[in-house]
Structure 1
Amino acid sequence: MIDLNCDLGEGFTTDADLMPLISSANIACGFHAGDAATIRRTIGLALQHNVAIGAHPGFADKANFGRTTIALTPEQVYQLVQTQLALFSTIAQEEGAVVRHVKPHGALYNAAAQSLEWANAIAEAVRDFDTNLILFGLSGSVSIQAAHALGLQTANEVFADRSYQADGTLTPRHLSHALIQDTDQCIAQVLGLLEKGFVVTHEGQRIRLQADTICLHGDGMHAISFAKAIRHALSEKKIVIQSPYTRREL
């Protein structure tokens, strides 16, 4: 079994087409993208297709889509995440939905994967808000380690549409090979992670990674075609697509 998650509610027109193809939706909380109306609409789509609902908190920086790091103290990071979880959870409750997981967005996600201080602040914010939430983080990173140390449930996340560096981090977006644009390469990366447990970097290095959930970016040029191809490839391999929350309840 594997989870297929997607970042949605960010103002793109593909949400309705992507939602039936995934098992978990990371929905923008209005800070890096979206607003209350977008959150409601995206939650409605997730409920319609029985997709696990997650909060996708990011920097309050719509101009840069939350992909530029903002210098904050751990206390400010904690408050940033708590504020967005409170806002998102309130809307979810009004829509009759339950929030199942949290996945930080963009630069906040990358910082949490590399800074133990930031990882702790985010994990503490999630734990103090709701201990039942699953925290999604970069596979094998300090984000996962910090969450485990606090007793949180986690999902090691790998990427279908991003390339990796030798240290297991994602290739920075400003580099030409950061985004995977070819369907065959996307499928090869996904199957390599699931069947062999490793990803191959641009330079040919093999990095072992645990894969609990696969991310596909909703703003990607090939998001819909990649999602369909991934589902087809996993179906052929008899690999069931299911959210970590659903698996936990079995």
Structure 2
Amino acid sequence: MLALGNILSVCARFCRGGCLTILTLCSALAHAENTAYALHKGPGNAFPVVYEIPADTKLSVIALQSGWVLLSDGRREGWLPASSLQAGEGRTPAQIWYLNDVSRTGRWSTSFAANTLGDVGVGLEWQWTGPYSLIAEASVGGEGNATQQRLLLGASRALVSKEHFIWSAELMAGTGLQNADSSRWDDHADTSVALLTASTRFRFDLSQTLAVSAAFGAEQAIGGTDAFNPFTALSWTLAL
């Protein structure tokens, strides 16, 4: 019994010591994580880390996008999740609260667009992860009795993200329908074709929720006369 009591006593001391060690390590790791900010090249974890800046550095907030803040120390700049930014030199607790409050814009946005092919339409975009977004677009067009409709689904990727500016590439696929008075995808016949579109888009943020974009791309029909149609488009986007 005495031997068993000694064994239990040793085990209890070992457990207490182990728990204290673990708590000490966790505290040290938490402190280490809070001593530096890992700033990303763009507003998302998919963008690489470009700088690590001590958390007590005087930082200025330049822009806010999709829950991320663009920070600068006067020489370098990078993106950090708004939820990770803490009060410090140049940023008060009230400012931190405000940044977290206004950064709660949802991942959804809607848009209205018109292009040089005569289409007008509406779109819906969902910010998927990092620089990637999923997009859907429905449009109608035509002249006189000629009518066309398009329904497209696809994805976009931000290539460059700066203050109030995003340059992205988009790839979409879907279907197009025309009536017999139209010759856009076939020679005056009621027909439906598969469509592929590729474009590059330049977006300028006018405010936290409103942006205007210019896109340059092309539409390739698969079927009918296999028409290839380049286009330019202008759109307005509203964050939901």
TM-score in same-fold range (> 0.5) = no
Larger proportion of helix: 1
Higher strand fraction: Structure 1 or Structure 2? 2
TM-score norm. by structure 1 comes to 0.21
| Larger gyration radius, structure 1 or structure 2 | 2
Q: Using CA pairs below 8 Å that are at least 6 residues apart, which structure has the higher relative contact order?
A: 1
TM-score (norm 2): 0.22
